[in-house]
Amino acid sequence: MKVLVPVKRVIDYNVKARVKPDQSGVDLANVKMSMNPFCEIAVEEAVRLKEKGVATEVIAVSVGPTQAQETIRTALAMGADRGILIQSDTDVEPLAVAKLLAAVAKEEGAEVVLMGKQAIDGDNNAVGQMLSQLLGWPQATFASKVEIAGGKAVVTREVDGGLQVLEVALPAVITADLRLNEPRYASLPNIMKAKKKEIAVKATGDYGVDVAPRLKVLKVSEPPKRTAGVKVETAADLVSKLKTEAGVL
C-alpha cells in the first residue's frame, strides 16, 4: 500500500511573522522556514504505518519553490522513501494544490493520502476536503488516531462534543490533527541517508493544472495589540463594564 504525504514549507512556528511595509503579504526574507507542524505529524504517522507493515512505501510530495526540497529531505530523514517536488515560484492556492495532489495520487496509485489538517501560514483547512472530492474518495479529517486493516481505515477524530469514530473504505484521504502523535527527531545517520534518496522535480504544467490565482489579497495587517486589563471590585461593576464598555451584554 502506497501512502502519499503532502508536506508544506512554511515559516517556522517559533518565528514571529512580519508584515511587509506595503501590506501586500508576509515578509519571508531572511526568515527561518521549516515543515508545517501538521504535515510533520502526518509524515510520522505514515512512517509508523510502514514500520507496522501496513504501508509498503511512503512518498512525500510538496508544491513550492526549489527550497521546498529541504522540507522533503526532512520527511525523507524521518523515514519517507522518496519525494516529489512540484515546483512553483508563486503561492499556489488550495484548489490548485488539491488538483495537483489528485494527479499525483492517481499517477502513483496511492491508496491513502495522509496529510496535515491545515498549514499554519494560510490556515485554510481546505486542501484535504477538496482533494477528497476531486478523487471521489471518502475523507476522515482531524484524525487523532488511525488504524488501517482489511482495506479499511478506522479513524478517531476530534469534534466539538468529544470524539467521533469513522470507518472509511480505502482509498481514502485522512487529515492529521495535533494529538495524532509526537513526531520523531531525525537521527544523523538518517539525515545522511536522506541525501541519497530520490526527489523527482516536476512542473505544474506536467499535470495540466492551471495554478493562476483566483483570489487577490487586498491587504495584510498585524492584529491589533491587546489593551491592558482592568480590575473590578464587584460583580455589579463587571456587569456594568460588559454592558457599557465591552458591549457584549
Q: What is the pLDDT of residues 109-128, one digit of tens each?
A: 999 999 999 999 989 999 99
pLDDT band for position 246 (cuts 50, 70, 90): confident
- Give residue 210's identity as a one-letter amino acid code: D
Phi, psi angle pair for 81, to nearest 5° = -85, -40
Quick: pLDDT tens for 50-104.
Answer: 999 999 999 999 999 999 999 999 999 999 999 999 999 888 999 999 999 999 9
* pLDDT attached to residue 226: 82
Query: Which residues share a beta bridge with 172?
Result: 112
Q: What whole-number distance in Å separates Cα of residue 183 and Cα of residue 47? A: 10
Cis peptide before 138 (omega within 30 of 0): no
* pLDDT attached to residue 247: 78
- Residue 124 CA, chain-centre distance (Å), reads 10
Cell numbers found for residue 144: 487523532
This prediction has a pTM of 0.87
Give the H/E segment covering residue 39.
helix 37-51
pLDDT band for position 132 (cuts 50, 70, 90): very high
* pLDDT attached to residue 40: 97
Chain mean pLDDT for the chain: 93
Q: Which residue has the cell 469534534?
A: 159
Residue 239 has pLDDT above 80, yes or no: yes
pLDDT band for position 141 (cuts 50, 70, 90): very high
Fold of 2-246: Rossmann fold (3.40.50)
Cα→Cα distances 219→95, 126, 146, 154, 177, Å: 21, 21, 39, 42, 30
Q: What is the DSSP string of 159-223?
A: ETTEEEEEEEESSEEEEE-TTS--PPPPPHHHHHHHTTS-EEEEEGGGGT-----S-------PP
Residue ranges of domains in the chain: 2-246
pLDDT band for position 131 (cuts 50, 70, 90): very high
Residue 249 has pLDDT above 80, yes or no: no
Pairing of strands 139-149, 152-159: antiparallel
The 3-state DSSP class for residue 36 equals coil
Residue 223 has pLDDT above 90, yes or no: no
Angle at 40 between CA 16 and CA 159, to 5 degrees: 90
